[in-house]
Structures are given as C-alpha cells and as structure tokens.
Amino acid sequence: MCGVDGSQHAADASWAAARAAARLGLGLQLVRAFDWPPGGIPGLPAGDLGRVVARRSALGELFRLVDSVAAVHPATAAAGALTDGTALEVLTAATATAALTVVGAQGQSAPGGPRAGSVALGITRTTLCPVLVHRAAVPAGGEVGGVAVSVDGGPATARLLDVAARSAGRRGDLVVVDDSPSDRVAPDSWAAVGEALLALRAAHPDLRITRRRHRGLPGSMLVELSVSVSLIVVGRALESTRPHLSARVGAVLRRGTCSTLVVPLDRHV
C-alpha cells in the first residue's frame, strides 16, 4: 500500500512502491484521502459543488497515477482508492491488510527540507507492518547506493540484518551500525552482534559488510550515513499501550536525508 496526495513526494513514493511490489510479487494499492475543509477551498465553488469538483479532480489524479504505474509494471496488479477522512486516519486504516506501507517523507503541506511530515511520522509510529518512508526520486534504472542498518544484539538482530542484507543486494555495500553496549558493559550483546554478522557473511559472501561502532547521541551516526547511502533500516518496538518512536528512529526520520525502512519488532532493537 502506498499513500498518495497529489504531491511530487507522493508520486516518487508510488514508483518506489511499484518497484517493491514487482520485486516481491505483490499487488499495489494507491490510497488517497479526501478531506474537504468546512470552509471549502479558495478558487473552488462553495458548498457541495466545490466538494464534487475537488473530489473529481483528486480521482482523476489518482487514477492517472495508477494507469502510469500499470503501464510500466504490467505484471503488478495496481489499484486506487479515494477515501473520505484525514490522511492519517485513511492511511492508518489501509495499512491493516498491507504487507508493506510506503509513504513520501512529506506531502502537499510540507514546508520543505528533510524532516518527515506529521503523516509519515504518525503512520510509522502505529502501523504493524514495515513502513518505507521514501525520500527523493531515484534514477529510472532503480535504486543505487548502500544500506545502513542499526542493531544492538537483541533478539531481533538477525531479522534486521537479513532485511538489510536483502535490500543491500540491490544497492551495494551494507554498513552495520552496532548500537549494543560496550563489550565491558554488556558482553553478551556485543558478542551477539558479532555472531549474527558471521552468519550474515556466510549467507551473503558477495556482500561487502562493514561494522561500525556507534558513538554519540542516539541515531546520530545513522543521520551522518544518510547522505551516502540510499536506505537506512531500523527497528521499532511494538508497544501495547502508547505507541512512540525511539530517539534513534525519531532522529533518522526527522534529520536523515535518504529513505528509511522502519520494521516493527516484538522487542526493541
């Protein structure tokens, strides 16, 4: 599922979603929210007539995008849905049956700059499936550049490394940011990262893997790496009470400059 809103950010995200759907053998649904403000929209007729005009325009934009995606990826079943409600409400509901959710980092109301918008942050905070927060258009030939992933030796370390390695196989090098405590403070976590990397190198002998020890504020090394890689992979803890983003994930989404894949986990990583 990919959220769109008529902005260029969303259009770029839809193409990233189409490539992912084609690669994974999945269908693609482009979802757009229609939220008619009580006071109408300047330049359109007042009342119901203005609402009809705006809705017809949104439908036209949506299905032109669906047709474009279907023309480039004919083997992917592409569909569109225009649903009444706010963007966060509509897209959150649409993620319930999605294997992967893709959103642009910013939408129509974005002020510019790398910071992810409120809708992207809200969806990432609550969604139960992986979320790709897409930044920047990529060359027509597909994504290029390396991948960076953050792990800390917890139970989900192997899963995150596997996701990152499969993504890096299409992009280049893999940089593993080791966020585990030092070997003197938590030797088990330090050793767990090392063991997981040994297994990863055995499974992906052609992949160039670099381990870098994190220093500084949470997420700071990932933010630095975001200028030289095309994707950052991070885990998000599934919370049963109050969903939130860790300082590490929040830093990447707010200050990173490349796409970020946020993977929900049973345990914090």
Q: In the prediction, which pLDDT does 183 show? A: 61
Token pair for 178: 């080791």
Tokens of 126: 């609550």
What is the full per-residue pLDDT of the chain (269 aa) written as tens digits? Answer: 999 999 988 999 999 999 999 999 999 999 999 998 888 788 888 888 888 999 999 999 999 999 999 999 999 999 999 999 999 999 999 999 999 999 998 755 555 555 668 899 999 998 899 999 999 754 444 445 799 999 999 889 999 999 999 988 765 799 999 988 766 556 788 889 999 999 999 999 989 999 998 888 889 999 999 999 999 999 998 765 567 788 999 999 999 999 999 999 875 44
Please give the angle made by the CA atoms of 209, 191 and 216, to the nearest 5 degrees. 70
The amino acid at 106: Q
Q: Look up residue 50 and give its two tokens.
A: 């203005």
- Looking at residue 184, its pLDDT comes to 59
Tell me if 55 sits within 8 A of 35, measured CB to CB.
no
| Full-model pTM | 0.88
User: What is the model's pLDDT at position 86?
Assistant: 94
> Are domains 2-134 and 146-265 of this chain identical in fold?
yes
Q: How far apart are CA 136 and CA 138, in angstroms?
A: 6
Q: Does 3.40.50.620 match the CATH number of domain 146-265?
A: yes
Domain ranges across the chain: 2-134, 146-265
Q: Cα dihedral sign for 161, 164, 168, 169?
A: positive
Q: What pLDDT score was predicted for residue 37?
A: 84
Please report the pLDDT score of residue 218 as a whole number: 87
| CA–CA gap between residue 70 and residue 267 (Å, rounded) | 38
Q: Do the beta carbons of residue 123 and residue 2 sit within 8 Å?
A: no
Q: Cα–Cα–Cα angle for 238, 242, 248, nearest 5°?
A: 60
pLDDT in the model for residue 43: 82
Beta bridge partners of 174: 147, 209
CA distances (Å), origin 116, targets 134, 195, 202: 9, 34, 36
CA 125 vs. chain centroid, Å, equals 11
Q: Which amino acid is at 127?
A: T
Write the class of the CATH domain 2-134: alpha beta
* Gap between the Cα atoms of 4 and 161, Å rounded: 30
